[in-house]
Amino acid sequence: MKNYRYSAKNTDGKTVSGTLTAPDKDEAVGELRKRNLTILEVKEVHSTFKAMSKKTARPGPPRKKDELVVFTRQLATMITSGITLLEAIEILVDQAETPAFSATLRAICEDVRTGSDLSRAIGKHPKVVSELFVNMVKAGEVSGQIDEILVRLADYLEATARLKREIKAAMTYPVISLVLVLGITAFLMVGIVPQFRPIFESLEIELPGLTRFVLAMSDAVRENGLLTLGGMVAFVAGVMALKRTEKGAYFMDSFVLKTPVFGVLFRKVALARFSRTFSTLIKSGVPILGCLEIVADTAGNRVVAKAVHHARDYVREGQSLSDPLAQSPVFPPMVTRMIAIGEKSGALEHLLEKIAEFYDEQVSAQVKSLTSLIEPLLIAVMGFFVGTIVLAVFLPIFKIQEKLASG
């Protein structure tokens, strides 16, 4: 089989181009004529090493999380500029940074070339695109506003990615700092403090209480270090196993929302994601019951998802959306009242967008305040541990000086 690059005119008189695979040039020409195309040019494309590597790559999700965001934005821009959907995807195939994502785009391109809708083509790759992505594209195809829908989808993905980066930045610094604090403390307790024990024993004095405590802790860490490490690994494995169960995952999500300081942050993140996703889907023309189903699945927290599923049952029965949401402690009165006003005024998507913007700003402000608060706090913790160990080492020396001075 050989690859052929073609240029032709369709029944509308527009020039289209693309690639197809056929045993020879005559077969390629015959295939194009079956598509009712007036052939302008057909040329064989000779394979290169790069093309072969992309061809043999298996379809899969991009290794870089932002690659799907970039693809959506570029696809929206090209379609808005008047480039056909098939041509736009063909151009983006060669711009994919990872072989797996490039192979996925090639598979989508082939499906679209054979007459498949874009929503159906991308729906075959659930590891790459979410249900939200597929439903929004489907809504754009039905309404004939695929260019506008892709712009909204790109905006949504970029805002979501930005929020994730902020949360990741807020969590990465304290975790790394805490690991360093614990590592330094463990090094002092295991490698430094034991070196002073023979010296203290040779002094033949009663050691201060703080020194005895630090030496005892050092012995405990040295003797039970592997056991403690094993216990920590077992604890982490147990938590991960618990999260795989439905009840365990719900308990963990509920616990996260109730944790001091960070619980408030994660709650605001969940509300921002709920509002933005809901608003984007309504604007795209997705039915409200379908919106609620997708919003629940993409909430990122099972407590929020349960509340949304409960609200969906109410809406299915013809009742208001805001009333069941108000029964959940996750949704504050400000959110439920704005949703109620949006339902009555017919501007629900606009108010949901305002809620998302509000909580985005809240999350950004809280992330900055947490970062500025955690840094001095961790420095103080490190100073406490290191200072305690240093003081425990020097107290016996001070005691000897006092004994010599009095003698």
Take residue 15 and report the two structure tokens written for it: 């020039």
Residue 51 lies in a domain: no
Same domain flag for 179 and 33: no
Pick the closest to residue 154 from 339, 268, 284 (CA basis).
Answer: 284
320-347 average pLDDT score = 89
Structure-model confidence comparison of residues 227 and 52, the more confident one: 227
Residue 36 lies in a domain: yes
The whole domain housing 13 covers 1-46
Same domain flag for 39 and 180: no
What are the pLDDT digits (tens) for 193-210? 888 888 777 776 777 888
Q: Is the pLDDT of residue 47 over 50?
A: no
Residues 6+ apart with CB under 8 A from 254: 302, 303
pLDDT value of position 59 = 60
Same domain flag for 244 and 386: yes
Pick the closest to residue 112 from 124, 102, 101 (CA basis).
Answer: 124
Same domain flag for 171 and 29: no
Residue 289, phi then psi, degrees to nearest 5: -65, -40
Same domain flag for 380 and 239: yes
Residue 341 lies in a domain: yes
Residue 129, phi then psi, degrees to nearest 5: -120, 150
Which range scores top for mean pLDDT: 55-64, 261-270, 347-356? 347-356
Instruction: For the chain, give the number of residues.
Output: 407
The percent of residues in the chain predicted with pLDDT above 90, rounded, is 3
Q: Could you give the CA distance from residue 299 to residue 294 in angstroms, rounded to a whole number?
A: 8
CATH number for the domain harbouring residue 205? 1.20.81.30
Residue 127 lies in a domain: no
Confidence at 176, pLDDT banded by 50, 70, 90? confident
pLDDT value of position 54 = 40
Residue 256 lies in a domain: yes
Which range scores top for mean pLDDT: 41-45, 198-202, 323-327? 323-327
pLDDT value of position 45 = 66
The CA-to-CA distance between both ends of the chain, in Å, stands at 101
What are the pLDDT digits (tens) for 358-407? 988 888 888 778 777 777 887 888 888 888 888 888 888 777 777 666 65
118-138 average pLDDT score = 84
pLDDT value of position 55 = 43
Q: Is the pLDDT of residue 350 over 70?
A: yes
Structure-model confidence comparison of residues 380 and 6, the more confident one: 380
What is the tally of structural domains in the chain? Answer: 2
Confidence at 65, pLDDT banded by 50, 70, 90? low
HEC-encoded secondary structure of 334-348: HHHHHHHHHHHHCCH
Q: Is the pLDDT of residue 69 over 50?
A: yes
Residue 120 lies in a domain: no
Any idea what the Cα angle at residue 327 is, between residues 322 and 330, rounded to 5°? Answer: 90
Q: Could you give the CA distance from residue 111 to residue 116 in angstroms, rounded to a whole number?
A: 5
Residue 56 lies in a domain: no
- Pick from 22-31, 58-67, 118-127, 138-147: least confident: 58-67
pLDDT value of position 41 = 76
- In whole numbers, what is the pLDDT of the chain averaged over residues? 80
Residue 94 lies in a domain: no
Take residue 31 and report the two structure tokens written for it: 């295939």
Take residue 341 and report the two structure tokens written for it: 């006003």
Q: Is the pLDDT of residue 73 over 80?
A: yes
What are the pLDDT digits (tens) for 282-322? 887 888 888 888 888 877 788 888 899 899 988 888 888 88
